[in-house]
Each structure stands twice: as structure tokens, then as C-alpha cells.
Structure 1
Amino acid sequence: MHLKNQYNIDQDAIDLLVSRFKLILEEDPTYVFHYDAEYWAKYIAESSGLINKRAYA
């Protein structure tokens, strides 16, 4: 909900990212995500074309 509210990210983009995480964890259950919610919000927004990567450089 944080990602959708703060960045107005489409729910489909969030669901796609969650699906990718599930696949990663199925392949390697010991995998650790080392980034916080802010990183993933930016990742989703960039992947969705909502923001320009250079805005955070």
C-alpha cells in the first residue's frame, strides 16, 4: 500500500514485482533482500516508466 500511495504505482506493477520475488525465493529460499521499501518503490516506478532513473542519481 505504501508504494501505491506514495508513488501512485499501478497495482499490476506491484503484483508483477511480488511474483518475481516469489520466483526468486522458490529457487533459493535463503535469498535475502537487502534493500528497503524506498529502493523497491523507486525500482517499480522506474520499471513502470513512471519516473526517470536520473531523477535519483
Structure 2
Amino acid sequence: MSRTLIVIGLSIVAAGLLWPWVTRIGLGRLPGDIVIERENFRLYFRILISVVLSTILWLINRH
């Protein structure tokens, strides 16, 4: 379990570091995104990514 958490954490860090380049190729807004925008605040919640990660973790824990 600890190895899984480390991999997930490193993946999140890598995604955060690569985010400026990812938005340039058109992946900044995906279908199914929930966007909350305020005056000095913007929150993106990715339903698609959440579903994929949930499925992967479910398959890992099933075995």
C-alpha cells in the first residue's frame, strides 16, 4: 500500500510540473470537467480522471 501511495504522489507532482506544457497541447479543459471560478480562485475537478483512477485502484485492490 505504501508503494502505491508513493507512486500516486509522484504522479501528482509530475502532473503539476508538466501542467504548463499540457495546457499548450489542448488538454487544459476536458469533457466532464467541473470548473469553479471566483475572483482570485479557479478550481478544476476532473471527473474523467477520477473515474479512471478509481477503476485502477479498484482493480489493484481486488487481487
Q: TM-score range by the shorter chain?
A: 0.3 to 0.5
Higher strand share: 2
Give TM-score, length-normalised by structure 1. 0.37
Which gives a bigger RCO, structure 1 or 2 (Cα 8 Å, sep 6+)? 1
The higher radius of gyration belongs to: 2
Higher helix share: 1
Give TM-score, length-normalised by structure 2. 0.35
